[in-house]
Amino acid sequence: MDVKKLAEEIKSSFQEELKNFENGNLNFEDLKNKFLGRKGLVADAFSQMRNFTDKALAGQILNSLKNELTEKVNSLTENTSSAKTKKLDLSLPGRKPNAGTLHVVTETQRQIEDIFFAMGFEMATGPQVETDFFNFESLNFPPDHPAREMHDTFFVEGDVLLRTHTSNVQIHAMKSQEPPVRVIAPGKCYRNDTPDATHSPVFQQIEALYVDKNVTFTELKGTLDAFVKALFGKATKTRFRPSFFPFTEPSAEVDVTCVVCKGKGCNVCKQTGWIEILGAGMVDPNVLEAVGYDSEIYSGYAFGLGIERVAMLKYGIPDLRLFFQNDIRFLKQF
Ligand code: PHE
């Protein structure tokens, strides 16, 4: 093989690629590697040394080719602007790292979790895409209960739906273990609601469930009282109003002292001094039987609260939609 011809070929190929580099179609590292890299064209030519008849001459030619290309490549590093920016300018002020923070709803969720973890509750989870059985039937919703209807439930297909509350996790938790069960279950829920200041088709709840022998309504009251005091402050009181849920009996709607006016009466609490924060009750015996627990031996309580609602009260946020608009100016405040 003719070493001169090979050297010429490599040179003209370099000129071609140099154009590509100058047009921005090839970056500096790739140009350099293609010719001068360990597996580059120059190294490749050297490795063919034994095929050349005059080895001394071939050595000279390839060495001068290598020097020539090295010089050209080095001159590029000095002249090109992309290479210049790589030099560290110590006189520039540093860039402040833009650290993110937790979303205020996540922050609130963790505060609530920590209070219950301290009381001995464990974390439980369940699917957001659920079957009618776990979301309704096992929770004692009669077949014609309005909550199952198209207008407040997102049906996926057949009896598969997006869960409308976190109460489905009650059933999963009880089916997977024997009492005592003491769990909380945070997560997203879905309802076919039109967004407004207090409604969103996606929102988050925290469910709590405690089942054991001799669990009483008094314990439910004591636990919730301790919880709201830890969350909103020692002066916070609870008020239980009779209510109805298919899966608890008796059931209650629980109010707390208005966090804004401290009970005096204001716009937020509509002059009542109270604000509703959760639904609660004693687990209905039908639910215990549905998961195979003996309702003559075991009893329990459950409650569920909306996390966004708690965050709105705690931080005085007037509109639920603010949580989802992802306006950094809003989110940065927390
Ligand atoms: N699942 C109910 C709701 O979404 C809340 C609740 C939970 C009530 C547990 C009682 C017991 O409104």
Residue 209's CATH number: 3.30.930.10
Residues with CB under 6 A from ligand 1: 165, 167, 207, 245, 248, 279-281, 302-304
Question: What pLDDT is attached to residue 141?
Answer: 95
99 inside domain: no
Domain boundary pick from 34, 57, 86: 86
Query: Are 219 and 320 found together in one domain?
Result: yes
d(CA 289, CA 285): 6
Pick the residue whose CA is nearest to atom 12 on ligand 1. Answer: 279
Domain range for 82: 3-86
Q: To test the ligand 1 pocket, which listed residue (165, 183, 215, 253) has its Cβ within 8 A of the most ligand atoms?
A: 165
Give the strand pairing for 181-190 and 122-123.
parallel
Query: Are 164 and 194 found together in one domain?
Result: yes
Helix (H) or strand (E) holding 20, with range, is helix 3-22
The SS3 assignment for 333 reads coil
Q: Looking at ligand 1, which atom is closest to the CA of residue 189?
A: 4
Question: What pLDDT is attached to residue 86?
Answer: 60
Q: Looking at ligand 1, which atom is closest to the CA of residue 304?
A: 7
Q: Calculate what percentage of the chain has a pLDDT beyond 90.
A: 75
Task: Give mean pLDDT in consecutive 10-residue pieces for the chain, a chain of 334 residues.
Answer: 88 92 87 92 90 88 92 78 62 85 95 98 98 96 90 94 98 97 98 92 97 98 97 96 97 94 89 95 97 98 97 92 93 90
281 inside domain: yes
Domains of the chain: total: 2
234 inside domain: yes
Q: What is the pTM of this model?
A: 0.72
Centroid of ligand 1 to alpha carbon of 270 (angstroms)? 23
Q: Looking at ligand 1, which atom is closest to the CA of residue 166?
A: 1
Contact (Cβ atoms closer than 8 angstroms) between residue 279 and residue 251: yes
Domain boundary pick from 55, 86, 117: 86
- How does DSSP classify residue 128? S
